[in-house]
A and B are shown apart, each in its own frame.
Chain A
Amino acid sequence: DTGVSQNPRHKITKRGQNVTFRCDPISEHNRLYWYRQTLGQGPEFLTYFQNEAQLEKSRLLSDRFSAERPKGSFSTLEIQRTEQGDSAMYLCASRIGTGESEQYFGPGTRLTVT
């Protein structure tokens, strides 16, 4: 399977705990994106990387959120001190090159904070 992969697919955690998600992009894609989607809404942009450089972060990304892409391959998204409002689907997407080419999404990680 050469598509975008995400792990875990589901995560249930208690409020206040830290969680970390992983995304493995399509191998030749140098741009990697994180989005968050809540029920009934379209995905919302969180942050993106070009290779290992984090180029933009949304104002939605509070100080409790951090993302890394240390070697320009896989990426991790960590949420510290989770809140119930963090419950959502976290989507990773990747694309190749510059310009405005199409992005391909992974299966997502569904987070439930109890």
Chain B
Amino acid sequence: QKEVEQNSGPLSVPEGAIASLNCTYSDRGSQSFFWYRQYSGKSPELIMFIYSNGDKEDGRFTAQLNKASQYVSLLIRDSQPSDSATYLCAVTGGTSYGKLTFGQGTILTVHP
């Protein structure tokens, strides 16, 4: 079992819809959770981080964390074509203390 798993997609949603990206992790000691956006050929860009159970909202983005289920998600409301990218879930803590362990990423395409 991979330490961090994401649906590789691609996930395709129409413009204006809600995109839902999911991530599960295997290490119960994981403490911090991050979502990065990566455009083709570019480096990862941090868009959200969450440390506590529940929801965290930042503009059109909402991160949700459920440590009991070892599940973290990212919702993108009012999706725009410019949101089309690969979304990477990453965790730290536990066996990944001090460093990020990434999933393989989910490719999101928002079509007009």
Contact = CB atoms under 8 A, between A and B. Distances in A.
Given A40-B104, A42-B90, A45-B100, A106 B43 contact: yes
Interface stretch (A12-20, A66-74, A76-84, A97-105): A97-105
Of the four ranges (under 10, 10 to 19, 20 to 34, 35 or more), the interface on chain A belongs to 20 to 34
Nearest to A44: B102
B28 interface: no
Q: Is the interface of A mostly helix, strand, loop or mixed?
A: strand
B17 interface: no
20 contacts: A40-B105, A42-B90, A42-B102, A42-B104, A43-B44, A43-B88, A43-B100, A45-B99, A45-B100, A56-B99, A100-B32, A100-B92, A100-B97, A100-B98, A102-B34, A103-B100, A106-B43, A107-B42, A108-B42, A108-B43
Interface of A: 31, 33, 35, 40-45, 48, 55-56, 89, 91, 93, 100-108
